[in-house]
Amino acid sequence: MGVVTRAEVDRVRTVTRQRTEGDRPDADRLEVRGAGSASGSSLLESGPVSRFAHHGIDPIGSAGHYDAFLLVELPLPWGRDLFDDLALRELEGAVARAESDGVRWRILGLMPSGDERSSSSKVICYRRGECGFTVFERSEGSVPANSVVHVCAEIVGGAELTEPTPADGGGHACRDVLICTHGRRDRRCGAMGARLYEAADGRYGQSRVWRISHTGGHRFAPTGITFPEGMFWAHLDLPTLDGIVSRGTEPRAIGSHYRGGGAYEQMAQPAEREAFLLHGWEWLSHVKAAEVTGTDDHGRYEVRLLHRAPDGNEGAYEATVGVGRLVHTVQCDTDCHDPDARSEELQVFRFARVDV
């Protein structure tokens, strides 16, 4: 690894200021060069600083990558892991079998919205479509509480829940805002997430707000996910969440909160964020496909991102993504701090528009 020069750091900070102050970078090419290496072991906090490390570390690339999500009303208490409950073992087995067949499911517990003694449980399913990605396709139903685990296992195995319900990227009906309040997993989620939920519940009209189980990345608490887009968020507060749900805040202003889209694999998530920032909220209405095509001589990943706008116009971007630096972080689920704990911060080193 080469030494990071002052000129390189200043160059990164210049790009940061341009983005923060609202200047839109050249849409054809954004290039940030640093001394990051995918090997990780030789990276220090003095490496190239992400322009979105407003909270100590840029959260991009920390979202899970899934083909489908199943949201299930489950009574409290939840264990540290949702599958610690022996009653869910049938569902856990179904998820494992699906993954062995190449289909990745994420099961999320929903805190019951009504009487926990209800005889029925709400189940919401979000699945990726077959051709490109715009939003996760949504279906919803209520099933007998005493058979909800079996029904969910069948859904993971390929059964349909109900007829799909409308869920598009235009801010219409059937939007779900999920806030992690899983205190058994992490006390910050249990405290900060619960306060955010109390402030947001009932605030967004047709968009429903739910308390959910662990979303990953509890060091970024409060965390959340917005559907049908499947966008993961970090360091949420009420004004930030307001801007996300209403789409009244420019994406450039919330880039440091975006963990990535759940439809994209980890190394494609930083590239997808660059396109989101360039196109704005309109980007969410595009049909998109992202692929990691290989690695460069430095071990960084090459990503190709294709998109088609609602008017039929098509475009493509190529990006180089890798680890920019290692950052000291709190990794445990208590208030302790391991001085040796570090997290990899991903960075886009090259982002360019290319011919389709």
Q: List Cβ neighbours of 340 (8 Å cut-off, separation of 6 or more).
A: none
* DSSP structure string for 55-121: TSS--TT-S---SEEEEEE-PSPP-SSGGGSGGGHHHHHHHHHHHHTT--EEEEEE--SS-TT-SEE
Q: Is the pLDDT of residue 338 over 70?
A: no
pLDDT tier at 356, thresholds 50, 70, 90: confident
Closest CA to 178 of 126, 105, 129: 126
Helix-strand-coil split of the chain, %, nearest 5: 30, 30, 45
What are the distances in angstroms from CA 294 to CA 85, 108, 194?
Answer: 40, 32, 41
| pLDDT at 207 (0 to 100) | 93
pLDDT tier at 8, thresholds 50, 70, 90: very low
Domain edges within the chain: 6-62+265-354, 68-233
pLDDT tier at 187, thresholds 50, 70, 90: confident
Q: Contact, 231 vs 262, CB < 8 A?
A: yes
The predicted-structure confidence for 265-323, as pLDDT tens digits, reads as follows 999 999 999 999 999 999 999 999 999 999 999 999 999 999 999 999 999 999 999 99
The predicted-structure confidence for 115-130, as pLDDT tens digits, reads as follows 656 789 999 999 998 8
| pLDDT at 186 (0 to 100) | 78
| pLDDT at 23 (0 to 100) | 39
Task: Report the pLDDT averaged over residues 102-107.
Answer: 97
Which residues are bridge partners to 295 per DSSP? 301
pLDDT tier at 44, thresholds 50, 70, 90: very low
